[in-house]
Amino acid sequence: MNILVTGSRGQLGSELLELSASCRNHRFFFYDLPDLDITRSDQVESHCRNHEIEVIVNCAAYTAVDKAETDSAMAFKVNRDAPAILAACARERNALLLQISTDYVFDGTSSTPYRESDPTAPLGVYGLSKWEGEERIRQIAPAYIIIRTSWLYSLSGVNFVKTMLRLGAERPELHVVADQIGSPTWAADLAAAIVLIIDRYKKDLPYGATFHYSNEGVASWYDFARAVMDLAGVSCKVLPIESAHYPQIAPRPHYSVLNKSAIKKELGIEIPYWRDSLSAMLQRRGMSDV
Ligand SMILES: NC(=O)c1ccc[n+]([C@@H]2O[C@H](COP(=O)([O-])OP(=O)(O)OC[C@H]3O[C@@H](n4cnc5c(N)ncnc54)[C@H](OP(=O)(O)O)[C@@H]3O)[C@@H](O)[C@H]2O)c1
């Protein structure tokens, strides 16, 4: 299978790049800005045509959640309009479009894990732009899989784990929000799930479906920060605070745990527990000096 990965320098794209070395049955083509701007239909079409692409994995996104509130035109261009371009290209080529979306499509008022069919109600521009991107794909692409994930981290890019490690080395104590609950997800695990899904394309994969994928288990940002310090052996003390004492520009859902029954049952994907994955990521970091 010839696979195009967009946004390849991001967290998820980088993990797919790493994994692709051991996927001999597929040919991966990795692109990011400026060589492939997903808002440019001419670039999308020519890359798909030149590489005879059969699967597009869209890892490109506008992910600056707070900045999106004041830069909404760009957030919608990348997260809503560009997926429509990718969907049209996939339709033209009879290709599969695999889109990554977010837990931020929900408002966080639930007290049980969100199912794929639960009503969405994004609280901010980022979540709304991602939701509208999902909808464009459902309207245009005959073959698509949308995977909503949450709290991604990896060795590459800026993320919560790396920020905690940096601050933990600089400060004796840190205050971290304890009233936002979700599931941390190692991008390497999601990348592995994506490869398993691609392996099933043209065999028994549904041609239009939305799935939830995050690591197993539930944590607050405070729990997550404590686990980072514990597992990395950093002595910084972590203290819980309420969101009200840590104002952010964009509102965040207080609860964004995703129900993963569908991806486990329908696709047989096994999902690691978040703390085990965090430990694996930190071990890999130790070996790579990042
Ligand atoms: N990060 C999270 O916590 C999280 C949580 C839930 C869902 N998600 C979703 O998961 C997916 C992967 O997230 P991630 O954390 O890997 O994102 P990321 O690290 O921010 O990577 C996104 C990549 O897309 C690139 N990009 C931006 N605009 C582009 C354009 N017009 N054309 C082509 N590439 C473009 C970015 O380049 P620049 O850096 O140069 O802008 C970056 O390399 C996204 O769909 C995101 O919405 C993320």
**Residue 26 Cα distances to 20, 195, 237, angstroms:** 8, 9, 46
Phi and psi at 223, nearest 5°, equal -60, -45
Which atom of ligand 1 lies nearest, measured to the CA of 99?
A: 45
User: Cα of 172 to ligand 1 centre, how many Å?
Assistant: 32
Residue 287 has a pLDDT of 67
- pLDDT tens string 214-261: 999 999 999 999 999 999 999 999 999 999 998 899 999 999 999 999
Could you give the CA distance from residue 1 to residue 25 in angstroms, rounded to a whole number?
A: 7
Give the β-pairing of 219-220 and 181-182.
Answer: antiparallel
Residue 61 has a pLDDT of 98
The domain limits of the chain are 2-158+184-216+257-272
| Mutation to probe ligand 1, out of 31, 36, 63, 148 (largest number of atoms < 8 A from CB) | 63
| Mutation to probe ligand 1, out of 9, 152, 194 (largest number of atoms < 8 A from CB) | 152
Residue 286 has a pLDDT of 84
In this prediction the pTM is 0.97
Phi and psi at 234, nearest 5°, equal -100, 135
- Report, as ranges of residue numbers, the positions in the chain whose pLDDT lies below 50: none
Give the β-pairing of 152-153 and 173-177.
Answer: unpaired
User: Cα of 65 to ligand 1 centre, how many Å?
Assistant: 11
Give the β-pairing of 237-241 and 173-177.
Answer: parallel
- In three-state form (DSSP H/G/I as H, E/B as E, the rest C), the secondary structure along 198-246 is HHHCCCCCCCEEEEECCCECCEEHHHHHHHHHHHHCCCCEEEEECHHHC
Residue 182 has a pLDDT of 98
Phi and psi at 27, nearest 5°, equal -110, 120
Burial 195-231 (b: 16+ CB within 10 A, else e): bebbeebeeebeeebbbbbbbbbebbbbbbbbbbbeb
- Which residues are part of the catalytic machinery? 126
Residue 247 has a pLDDT of 85
Residue minimizing CA distance to atom 17 of ligand 1: 10
| Mutation to probe ligand 1, out of 5, 33, 44, 98 (largest number of atoms < 8 A from CB) | 33
Nearest-10 Cα torsion for 244, 247, 251, 252: -70
Residues with CB under 6 A from ligand 1: 6-7, 9-12, 32-33, 36-39, 59-63, 78, 82, 100, 102-103, 130, 149-152, 157
Could you give the CA distance from residue 9 to residue 144 in angstroms, rounded to a whole number?
A: 23
Residue 103 has a pLDDT of 98
Say which CATH topology domain 2-158+184-216+257-272 has: Rossmann fold (3.40.50)
Could you give the CA distance from residue 11 to residue 60 in angstroms, rounded to a whole number?
A: 10
Nearest-10 Cα torsion for 219, 223, 227, 230: -160
